[in-house]
Amino acid sequence: MMKRACVAALLLLSLSACAIGGRGRAIPFTDASVTSPDNHSFAIAWTAPSVASVSVYAGTDPAHVGRDHRVGQGGGSGNLTVSNLPAAARWYFELVPDHGGALTVADRSLHLATAPNFRDAGGYRTEEGKWIRMGLLYRSDQLDLLSPMDLQTVHEVGIRLVCDLRTDAERNRAPDRIPGGAMAMIADVAGNDSSSSRLTGLMTNKSLQQEVALSGGSAKLMEDANRQFVSSPAALKAYHALFERLADPKALPGVFHCTAGKDRTGWAEAAFLSIMGVPRDAILRDYLASNTYLEGKNRKLLAFIRSDSDRALVEPLMEVRPDYLEAAFDEIDKRYGSFDKYLHEGLGLDDATIKRLRAEFLVGG
């Protein structure tokens, strides 16, 4: 009788493991990435020190890449270039080790000509060794300029939620182009905050430019704005609403954005990655990546600025810098004492919501 009960228990455990799949198994990869200059040729790299071999499969569905399109294999540390794949909105690559859980990765960028900062918010490893799922959450710059082709790509990756972090004035001047079937959500981070109005008017208001120059420059204004992201009532309300919504799987895949996709959106992403448990250095790298994605767009804008003094004033507004992000984290330490207290006391997120967020986005035992 005892033997029969043990066999039944082992069978139940085996079935449970199969049902959980890769999401419940420890993932042995310590690093993995996909880069593509044109969305046609893909450079895949990975590191899994405890693994002898890794098989790589390609597919267009992040939830089920499938094992019917094998594109190569390698050892515990590997590099692979894949080309000549059929045209698709996005290709994902499943790294299947000889033991442990598989990992699905993709090029972070969607390569949208009219929204260059539209990119995946996931694909990062946490301090506990889990990974944030890709293809589930995106961050972006303005969506009002989306070309028909780029709008179709956004539709094809399955976006269900578009969360707009901009002000009323920004939305009225440049309303989003929403992909078919997606829900629109407004989470105005700035509200009536005066520092945000100063940022908006700085490009054209000469007297305001002189005032900002005398008060420490536009870089200081950006640091002050980032402090407001974690302390102003409007920002706290907006980010609370965003994370509550993202905890609902019916809203996913989703995208959140502002105008440049680097400041209000940058803090939303930094807070999201912090909730997931991503190390601070990786969060900073993701934050600073906006400079790379927006480089071409910013270069065109700067070409119209002839004066060195105007350029010195405007450039800090167009960039993200480590000091900007550090100002937000410093404000958390001053006001709340810890990031956990910021989540609970500042954003008003309860343990159940935080647990749902982590359960939805994280994979790996």
DSSP letter assigned to residue 277? T
Q: What's the residue count for the chain?
A: 365
Res 9: pLDDT: 39
Q: How far is CA 232 from CA 119, 170, 237, in A?
A: 27, 19, 9
CB-based contacts of 329: which residues, under 8 Å, 6+ apart? 280, 339
- Clarify whether residues 143 and 231 are in a common domain: yes
Q: What is the SS3 assignment for 53?
A: coil
How many separate domains does the chain show? 2
How is the beta sheet containing 77-82 ordered, strand by strand? 31-35, 42-47, 77-82
Shared-domain flag, residues 190 and 255: yes
Tell whether 94 and 207 lie within a shared domain.
no
Instruction: State whether 245 and 352 are in the same domain.
Output: yes
Q: Which CATH number characterizes residue 93's domain?
A: 2.60.40.10
Tell me what pLDDT residue 203 has: 45
| The overall pTM is greater than 0.75 | yes
Mean pLDDT by 10 residues, the chain (365 residues): 40 35 80 93 97 98 92 96 94 97 98 97 98 98 98 98 96 97 97 59 52 68 95 97 98 97 98 98 98 95 82 89 98 98 98 98 93
Domain range for 167:
137-363
Tens digits of per-residue pLDDT, 113-144?
A: 999 999 999 999 999 999 999 999 999 999 99
For residue 122, is it within any domain?
Answer: no
In a domain, 16, yes or no: no
